[in-house]
Amino acid sequence: MADAITSRETDYSKWYLDVIRHAKLAEHSPVRGCMIIRPNGYALWENMQAALDKMFKDTGHENAYFPIFIPQSFLAREADHVDGFAKECAVVTHSRLKLDPEKGLIVDPDSKLEENLIVRPTSETIVWDTYSRWIQSWRDLPILINLWNNVVRWEMRTRLFLRTMEFLWQEGHTAHATRKEAVDETIQMIDIYARFAEEFMAVPVIKGIKTASERFAGAVDTYCIEALMQDGKALQAGTSHFLGQNFAKAFNCQFQNKNNEQEYVWATSWGVSTRLIGALIMVHSDDQGLVLPPKLAPTQVVLVPIYRKDEEREQVLNEADKVIGDLKAAGIRAKVDAREGYRPGWKFNEYEVQGVPVRLALGPRDIASGTIELARRDTGTKETVDREGLTALISTTLSDIQQNLFDRALAFREDRTTAVDSYDEFKSVLDGKGGFVLAHWDGSADTETQIKEETKATIRCIPLDAIDADGSGVDLISGKPSAGRVYFARAY
C-alpha cells in the first residue's frame, strides 16, 4: 500500500475509492457489480445494524425472514411495481449443473424451471402474498415486521457501497387497519432514519417527500432523507413508503374491520442499506483517509505502545493494558496494538487511514511523568495529557468528536444550500459551489423534467418543514404559483 490516497480536489471519485481500499472497507468481487465487504467495513455495518435494530424494536417491530426468491409472476401483480422492479434482475431459470465430457461444467437443460425465480430486488410482493394469508380480521393488525437481508438489482454502473448489484439492507413491511395508522408509521420510520443519520452517523439530513417521478414503484408517497456529500452532490440515505392499499389490492389482502366490513389492508415499507456506509465516508473523510463518528467506529480508541528495548516493552505493554482495561470498563471500544515488527509511525498512519477517532501513544517517558499522548482524528490535534482522569477525558473527547463531525457537516451543508429565484441563478449556483438549491416549484412534472434534462439536477425532496410557503413564490420556469421551495441538487 505504498501508493497514497488521491486528494479530494484532484479526483473526488478516485479519492472515494482510495479511502475504501486503504481503509480495507470493501473491494470488487470477481462477479461484476457485487462487492466483498471486508471486516473493517462489515464491523461498521454491524454497528449501524445494532443501533437501527434497537430503534426498530423500541417502536414495536419484530424481525423475520422471507425467501430470497420471488416467483416471476409475483412481480407482475402490482402495476407500478412491474415498471420499477421487473426489469434488470437476476433470473434463475435452471436448478442443476452437470459435467459434460467435452464442455466441462454446464447447466443441465433438463432442469429448466416451470416458473422462473427472481432473486429479490425488494420483498413487497412475497410479503403481501403472505400477509394475505395471515390477515383476516382487525385483530390480526397491525403487523410490524422488519427483514435484514440481501437484495439484487442488476445495476450496470456500480460504485462500491453507493450502487452495487447486491447490497445488504433492512426492509420493513407493515400492515395496518387504517390509512392514518399507516401514514403515521411511514412518518415515524423516516423520523427514525433521520435520527439515526444525525445522532449516530453525525450526518445532517433533510426530511421530505419525493415527487411522483422519484417515488418508489408502487407507493402512494415516498418520504426520504437526503444528505449532502463533500463534492456538493446529494445522496438519498433512506426512504419510507406509504403504499396505500396498492399491494393489498394486488394480492387480495382484505380484513374484516370493526364494523364487520371487508376492507383492504393499508401498507408501508421502509429501508436503509449499506449505501449508508458510502454516505458516511463521503461526508466525513479527508485526504488522509477515513474519519469515523465515535458512535459507529468499531474501534474508538487505539493505543500504540512506544519502546526501544525489550525491558521497556514489558513495562509499556503492562501500562497500556491498564489504560485500555479502564477504558473498556467504561464501555469504550478500545484496544492496544502490540504487534511487533511495525514502527509506531507506521501504526499511527494505519489508524489515521482507518479513521479511529482517538489514538493514544504511551512510552517509558510518559509512564515516568504520568502522562500519555492523545491525538484526535477529526482535528488532527495532538496533546500530552495526564493519565489521571484519562478515562473521563476520553469519554468527553469522543462526545466532542461526534458533535464536531455533525457541526462541521451541518456548516458545510448550510454553506452549500442556496435559495434562488431565477433559473439563471439556479444554474450558476449548481455549476458553482453546487449543493442544495432551494427553489420554488409549481408542482408540475414539466418543470421538473426540463430542469433535469438541462442541468442534471433533480428535486431531491419537498421538505416536510415547508419553506417560504406564504404563496408569494413562483416557479422558476413556468412562473406559476408555488406552494413552497423544494430542494434541487445533482445527486448520486
- Contacting positions for its own copies (CB under 8 A): 29-31, 34-39, 41-43, 45-46, 62-76, 82, 86-99, 104-105, 107, 111, 116-119, 126, 129-130, 139, 145, 149-150, 152, 154, 166, 168, 341
Identify which of 133, 80, 79 has the alpha carbon closest to the alpha carbon of residue 265: 133
Smallest distance, Å, CB 96 to its own copies? 6
Nearer to its own copies, 30 or 345 (CB): 30
Contacts of 65 (CB under 8 A, 6+ apart): 147, 149
Smallest distance, Å, CB 191 to its own copies? 23
| Rg from Cα positions in the chain | 26
Classify residue 164 by burial, with Cβ atoms within 10 Å: 0-12, 13-18, 19+. buried
Smallest distance, Å, CB 112 to its own copies? 10
Nearer to its own copies, 148 or 492 (CB): 148
Smallest distance, Å, CB 452 to its own copies? 25
Residue identified by cell 455495518 is 45
Nearer to its own copies, 41 or 232 (CB): 41
Spatial distance between the Cα atoms of 153 and 449, rounded to a whole number of angstroms: 25
Smallest distance, Å, CB 488 to its own copies? 32
Nearer to its own copies, 8 or 120 (CB): 120
Spatial distance between the Cα atoms of 437 and 429, rounded to a whole number of angstroms: 7
Nearer to its own copies, 116 or 188 (CB): 116
Q: 447 with 477: CB under 8 angstroms?
A: yes
Residue identified by cell 487505539 is 302
Nearer to its own copies, 341 or 345 (CB): 341
Residue identified by cell 424481525 is 63
Nearer to its own copies, 71 or 484 (CB): 71
Number of other CB atoms surrounding residue 435 within 10 Å? 25
Contacts of 37 (CB under 8 A, 6+ apart): 25, 26, 45, 168, 274
Nearer to its own copies, 64 or 466 (CB): 64
Smallest distance, Å, CB 174 to its own copies? 13
Smallest distance, Å, CB 258 to its own copies? 12
- Axis-axis angle for helices 39-58, 179-199 (nearest 10): 140
Smallest distance, Å, CB 155 to its own copies? 10
Q: End-to-end alpha-carbon separation of the chain, Å?
A: 28
Nearer to its own copies, 64 or 330 (CB): 64
Classify residue 133 by burial, with Cβ atoms within 10 Å: 0-12, 13-18, 19+. exposed
Which residues is 400 bridged to in the sheet? none
Classify residue 317 by burial, with Cβ atoms within 10 Å: 0-12, 13-18, 19+. middle
Smallest distance, Å, CB 252 to its own copies? 14
Spatial distance between the Cα atoms of 222 and 219, rounded to a whole number of angstroms: 6
User: In whole angstroms, how far apart are CA 350 and each of 16, 19, 304?
Assistant: 17, 12, 11
